[in-house]
Amino acid sequence: MDVKVLLLLTSFAISSRAAVLRNGVEIPQYAEICRRSQAQDSLDECLKNSIQTLIQKISKDGIPQLNFPSLDPWKVEEFHIKNSGDPFKIGLTFTNINTHGFSAIQILGVRSNFNNPNQIAMDVDFHNDKVLVKGNYVAEGYISDLPILGKGSFSGSINNVTGTLKLRGHLVTKDGEEFLQIDRMIMRPTVGDMKVHMSNENYKYPELSNILVSLLNQFWRPIYEEALPYFQNVSDEIMTSRFNLATLKIPFDQLIPK
C-alpha cells in the first residue's frame, strides 16, 4: 500500500559536521564528514556510510532544530490511490498513516555528481526487509459490477522493498551563501510481497468489503503497478518539501564541504 519506506533514503548526510543556521542555532554532528574533493569512489562510499548512520541517529527524534520529523514512525496525514483497471475501479483514501521500519533500511550504494551547481544529482540504492503501515481508509468504487463502499482502519506489511532513489536539485544563493534546493526525488521501488488487513465500519456491504480485502491481497501486484505513477508523483511532492526543510537551511558547504 503506502511504500513510504523509501521516503527516508534521501538524507544528504545532513549535518555531517556541526552546522550553524543563519539564526545562530547549531545542529550537532550526526555522521562522518564527506568532502567533494575526495576521489569519486571514496566520496560515494563516504556518503553511503553517512546516510546509513544518519538514518539510525535521527529515526526516533528527527532533527528538532529544523522541524524535521522522525523517520520511525514516518507520519503522513493523507494519501490517495486510484485504480481504473479491471476488475478494480476504485479510489482509496488513507489518513493518519504511520509507517514503521524505516530505521532498518539498508543503504546499498550511492552515486553522486556535484560538478554542475545547476544539476546536482545523487542516486541512492536501498533495501528494507519489512515495513509495517497503519492508519484509516475510505474505499469507494466497483469490483467488476459490484459496488464497494467501506471505511475503517487498515494495517499492512510490505516485504523486501528494493529500489533507487534519484535526487535532483540545484544550488541557490541566499545572503552570499549557497544552499541545495531539491527539485525532484524520484523512485520506482520493487516489492517482494504485501498483505493488507481492513476493518469495515460501513455495514451496508460487509461481504463485499471482505471480497475487497481478499482481492487486494490476491492482486496487489498489478494494483501496485497501476498506482505506481501516481504514488511516484505524490511521494516526490512529500519528500521534496520535507527534505528542503533541511537543505535550504544548512549551507551546502556545511552539508558536503569542499
Q: Tens digit of pLDDT for each residue in 55-106?
A: 887 777 777 777 777 778 888 888 887 777 666 788 889 999 999 988 899 9
Distance of CA 74 to the CA centre of its chain: 9
Confidence grade of residue 125 (pLDDT, cut at 50, 70, 90): very high
Give Cα separations from 52 to 55, 95, 108, 137, 172 (angstroms): 5, 29, 9, 32, 27
Domain containing 198 equals 40-255
Which H helix or E strand runs over 195?
A: strand 190-198
pLDDT in tens, 134-189: 999 998 888 777 777 788 999 999 999 999 999 999 999 998 999 999 999 998 89
Confidence of residue 239 (pLDDT cuts 50, 70, 90): confident
Which residue is associated with the grid cell 514512525?
Answer: 73
Q: How many domains does the chain have?
A: 1
Predicted TM-score (pTM) of the model is 0.81
Whether 151 maps to a domain, the answer reads: yes
Note whether residue 5 is domain-resident: no
191 in a structural domain = yes
Q: Tell whether 46 is covered by a domain.
A: yes
Q: Is 200 part of a structural domain of the chain?
A: yes
3-state secondary structure of 251: coil
Distance CA 109, CA 48 (A): 6
Alpha carbon separation from 194 to 156, 157, 172, 220, 222 (Å, rounded): 7, 6, 41, 7, 12
Determine phi and psi for 233, rounding to 5 degrees.
Answer: -65, -45
34 in a structural domain = no
With respect to residue 221, please indicate whether it lies within any of the assigned structural domains.
yes
Question: Domain holding 72: CATH number?
Answer: 3.15.10.30
Alpha helix segments (H runs only) across the chain: 40-58, 206-218, 220-247, 252-255
51 within a domain of the structure (yes/no): yes
